Structure 1
Amino acid sequence: MPSADAQRSAFASLLQELHDATMQAGFVTARRMNLSTTDAAAIEHIALAAVPIGPAELSVRLGVTRSSATEIIDRLVRSGHIQRRRDEADGRRFRLVPTDEARDLVAVELAPLEHRVEEIGASFTVQQQRVITEFLEAVATAHREFATDGKPER
């Protein structure tokens, strides 16, 4: 059995491989969508968000300034990929909503990958799936905490 240090190193190494593979998949997806990687990532964040996000959250997710996010949003609005809609709860704010065409584009491009990931997940027992889920949730939390220096996200 590997030592705790070797195990941590293996986890870190595998997570780095996953990160690299995810980035490569993002580059390919952008190319297939005929968009820059930043614009494609923005559309994915907007189309896949559980609830509509605003410009400030998009800037955080993309790691760009708010002014850069505004330029990206303007480009995506002009190209018909997203719309700005007033927030119903706070009329001063806007939410970013993908057009049906953009949602379909993202779904078509990501469907093969999502299908393959589902197949892989289904190859594990229910108990293994629970452990994997707990692990991935904890890793995601650790990354978010690292990104905010342990401060709650805004």
Structure 2
Amino acid sequence: MNNDQKNMDQYDHSGNPHYSHTDTTALNVPLAEWKKLLPEDLYYIAFEKGTERAFTGKYWDFEGIGTYACAACGNVLFQADAKFASSCGWPSFFEAARKDAIHYHEDRTFGMMRTETTCGRCGAHLGHLFDDGPEPTGKRYCINSVSLEFLGKK
């Protein structure tokens, strides 16, 4: 599938006044408003901290030239050249697009100690960060495809 086809497979953001690929200002949007603005699957993953099943997301094995943005607010999160095949079933990246693109939180759910990753702009749940990635960082950002939108290079 080419980049143009992937770009067509995106959410409709025409009714979302918070969606921007250039504005990095932190948002403070009530959950009730997000629930009205976002499709049900995206709201569940992003603001109820859901997780899609492994190997089911549209980006887990996708390769393309461009960037990945937060599907809720448009904040650019990852460059495609930081994506790698990790065999975990979710899109994996070894570094964020910029230092403030992602926020990190301790997650002790399910009897584990993990680092949750959220969008640095809107706070949407993205996935988790692990220390088993490739060089140069040794990090693996394990991200839900639903939380991402691929922006193909134009």
TM-score bucket (shorter structure) = under 0.3
Which one has the bigger helix percentage? 1
By relative contact order (CA 8 Å, sep 6+), the higher-ranking structure is 2
Structure that is richer in strand per residue: 2
Superposition TM-score, scaled by structure 1 size: 0.26
